[in-house]
Structure 1
């Protein structure tokens, strides 16, 4: 049945080993971010089988799926007040930014006779989670470190998610200064500095000695074998661990631009087209419910993605050496958003090799 998502665990294992070797040279541990593949246990175990000791996800439902795998679990999204009990039950480590959240975790952990680790997040300009400014960080740490049932494991930052703020050398030095001031003024040692995500690999590859942090939370780079700032391939890694196959349900020669008056589509503004006359076009049984058509890369040379609606993927196949026909199956590499959507879609069959 199609569409079909094909996942190569062998190729994924190769990516893990290639990226882990880069991190090991700088004494950096990886948290494997599993939300991109919905924490499917058969895929998650590839990480634990290849030396990854912490699995991280933003959703409790996914942490539950991985509870029988070895290693620790990290909740990557800030804990919601309504889920504190489950956070303490299924996560070993949480990322926090509010003292009130840490206090709720403390109460729950103490009641259970457990110790729950927290990493205090700092907003370094990406406009997502974290305390803002050095003084807010110092106040938060001073309060949190005294809570019973809580281990202050360290500090962390995030980049390239909302604001597109890059993990530059200047940002890393700013984070380093915060760590040093905290340790000096509070008289503590921060065990973990979670310095970012897959976007940090770009600077790390260019300047291997640029890091002082000892942890990165990596998802996309593992899954796609590419760093995420310049989208460059990582040596020894693969960009086809996840591939989708879709069947052609129509193939005709048609105009390359719409006719008559046009307006917005069901997904926003009216798209722009260049009129190239009649072109050979194919439609696949695949759509925005299953993938992000902007992150879909045809394997066969000469195929161009024109666009997609909910259920139809439209392709220009005029320049294919061998013209595809009705019923043929085409294969595509996937960007991160397409991997996530295809894993989430109940309409996409999953084949894990």
Structure 2
């Protein structure tokens, strides 16, 4: 198949998905499996579905289109662009929203296609990414009530992704109080209360999740670690995706044995690469070359040899997106 290459271990991904889904379900929480890190590859996505996960979420409509044949509720987790309203209505069952103009566009598109589009309203809780402020809630709820082709089925919030706000019991309690306020204004119970992502996993069994009944989980499934503190999830694999790259130069430079691999910043986030040979040190990278130090390795490497890496989340995202990196799925 050639190199560079990412080897995807489907058995380990399914194991991780099953473990995390069960862990969440044991506390009354459903899982939305996030597929963006592997571009919603249909085979990998089906693995998540087979593990019992209740929803699939992705940030890009193009990815959801690839899995429209898979029978599971699909959620657009990046707030939509008005220009893609038609595709959002046709290709996702639910979308996360924070702008009334966008919700109105979704309503118009839904009316045109004789559909009811479900939405989750995102609430700002300090991470300063998407989400409406508390003082906007009543006004936006009143406007949503007038939209005949929009069904507000849930409320969500985000932690850790941008502002570095780590969830805790107090933040979940405050979020639950806002949910109660919204439900009181709507005079109905909401179906989905999505209280964060992989960074909330470490709180299961330790704090009261209040009204939260859903988590959006991506990294913990694909890499076996939570994102609040980067700790391993008990019972999960971290070597689900292995990057392989070939040595194209091997020379003694600056008193160290250095190798260049046919891989660069255009392909991966080199700072998020973890060599399986722990004695190897990643020195740096240019757009097309990765430089590593082999001085402390007991393995004798040569030109054409392959170096294996585990990948951090952003390296995985970039690597799976790169057309220059081949992908091999194994069972």
The TM tier, using the shorter chain, reads: over 0.9
| Aligned match of 1:91 | 92
| Aligned match of 2:238 | 239
Counterparts in 2 of 1:10-49, with a 5 A limit? 10-49=11-50
Q: What is the deviation of 1:198?
A: 0.9
Q: Is the 8 A contact 1:26 1:211 kept in 2?
A: no
Q: Using structure 1 for the length normalisation, give the TM-score.
A: 0.90
Q: What is the deviation of 1:30?
A: 0.9
Structure 1: state its 5+ residue gaps: 256-277
The DSSP-based 3-state class of the residue aligned with 2:33 is strand
Larger CA Rg, structure 1 vs 2: 1
Aligned mates of 1:160, 1:200 — CA distance in 2: 9
| Aligned match of 2:115 | 114
Q: Determine if the alignment matches structure 1 residue 136 to structure 2 residue 136.
A: yes
Q: What is the deviation of 1:141?
A: 2.0
Q: Using structure 2 for the length normalisation, give the TM-score.
A: 0.96
| Aligned match of 2:266 | 289
| Aligned match of 1:299 | 276
| Aligned match of 2:214 | 215
Q: Is the 8 A contact 1:53 1:70 kept in 2?
A: no
Q: Is the 8 A contact 1:120 1:141 kept in 2?
A: no
Q: Is the 8 A contact 1:26 1:209 kept in 2?
A: no
Structure 2: state its 5+ residue gaps: none
| Aligned match of 2:158 | 158
Aligned mates of 1:6, 1:63 — CA distance in 2: 23
Counterparts in 2 of 1:1-353, with a 5 A limit? 1-133=2-134, 135-204=135-204, 207=206, 209-255=208-254, 278-353=255-330
Q: Is the 8 A contact 1:116 1:151 kept in 2?
A: yes
Aligned residues: 329
Q: What is the deviation of 1:15?
A: 0.4
Q: What is the deviation of 1:202?
A: 2.1
Calculate the aligned-residue CA RMSD, in Å.
1.3
Q: Is the 8 A contact 1:204 1:211 kept in 2?
A: no
Q: What is the deviation of 1:78?
A: 1.0
Q: Is the 8 A contact 1:75 1:87 kept in 2?
A: yes
Q: What is the deviation of 1:250?
A: 1.2
